[in-house]
Chains A and B, each alone.
Chain A
Amino acid sequence: MTTVMIVDDSPTMLMSIKSVLTKAGMAVETAKDGQEALDRIKGGLKPNLVISDVNMPRLDGIGFVREARKAGLRFTPILMLTTESEATKRAEAKAAGATGWLVKPVQPDALLNVIRQVVPGA
């Protein structure tokens, strides 16, 4: 079973995306900011995919990607899911090691399509 970690400080987003993925048969882990996500990865969690917000307290999404790449998630796809659409932010995320960029609100079908592209067999 594909395990996805969702990182977002919004309870609404966590619940909404978790419902979409659970309905699609995926296991879901959640973290409320980049620091909590990083701590869980350092603690041994190995998701098949991470979906992370960008603007979060403590550790933002781009900082999280940078740290996660050093902390063992070297090849795991990390998708950014954010309200931010600015090209410079996208470039920053790409340089940090993000796999892709999705702008909120994302349609469930579009999200699942992207997931199946980056995690074959999901």
Chain B
Amino acid sequence: MPDTTHDVPAADVSALLRHAEQVLAVLAGQLRQVVATTEEAAVSILTQVQAADAGTEGVDRVARALQDRAPREAAELSDGVRTLEAATTAVLAATQFQDVTRQGVDGVLAALADVAGGLRAAADHLDGTGTGELPRPDDALQALQRGYVSAAQRRVHAEVVGAGRVEEAQPAVVELF
């Protein structure tokens, strides 16, 4: 085990590595908090949408009941209900992005844990307490790649590691087998 690394005491390098590991743990905790908050917000929005849907059903019934006596007012009510239904349908589609984002963040969290493990192993070796082999430099990147769940994640990865832009065919959103 080297005592120094380019004249920097190994103990100082080890302390830096352990500090970086701690920073990653804090970042992971912050990310988890962000995901939990967005999930709470999405669930709250969906609860309101369900309440609005229940309300529009009542208004729709009133509009149908009024059709013979006040057709113009009934038509206006129905139009209002349709507008509100279109809006709530758009919200239902939009809230799905919360789950798409959550899955992306889950991948980032797994990668942070991998990198933190690598830093810990390196620090242990510098301190002389390391027992296992050091991870290979590209282990974390490969693990990251294996964990991807969307084309967008693979595209960003290729761009960042210098593999260039991935021009993959846009997959069909719906495919029946």
Contacts and interface: CB of A to CB of B under 8 A. Distances in A.
A85 B154 CA distance: 11
Interface in A28-65: 54-55
A84 B175 CA distance: 13
A16 B46 contact: yes
A20 B88 CA distance: 10
Contact of B99 (A10, A117, A118): A10
Contacts of A2: none
A19 B96 contact: no
A85 B94 contact: no
Contacts of B150: 83-85
Given A83-B150, A108-B89, A15 B46 contact: yes
A55 B149 contact: yes
B99 A13 contact: yes
A8 B149 CA distance: 15
A105 B150 CA distance: 12
Contacts of A85: 150-151, 171
Contacts of B156: none
A114 B174 contact: yes
A108 B46 contact: no
A3 interface: no
Contacts of B59: none
Nearest to A11: B43
Contact of B174 (A54, A87, A108, A110): A110
A99 B173 contact: no
B26 interface: no
Interface in A97-122: 98-110, 114, 117-118
Given A20-B92, A105-B93, A11 B151 contact: no
A100 B174 contact: yes
Contacts of A12: 39, 42-43, 46, 95-96, 98-99, 102
A70 interface: no
B23 interface: no
Given A12-B46, A99-B176, A55 B94 contact: no
B92 A102 contact: no
Interface in A71-87: 82-87
Nearest to A23: B53
B92 A16 contact: yes
Interface of B: 39, 42-43, 46-47, 49-50, 53, 85, 88-89, 92-100, 102-104, 149-151, 154, 171-177
Interface of A: 8, 10-13, 15-16, 19-20, 23, 54-55, 82-87, 90, 93-94, 98-110, 114, 117-118
28 contacts: A8-B99, A10-B39, A10-B99, A12-B42, A12-B95, A12-B96, A12-B102, A13-B99, A15-B50, A16-B93, A19-B88, A55-B149, A83-B149, A83-B150, A85-B150, A85-B171, A86-B151, A86-B171, A94-B177, A99-B176, A100-B174, A100-B175, A100-B176, A102-B175, A103-B174, A104-B100, A108-B89, A108-B93
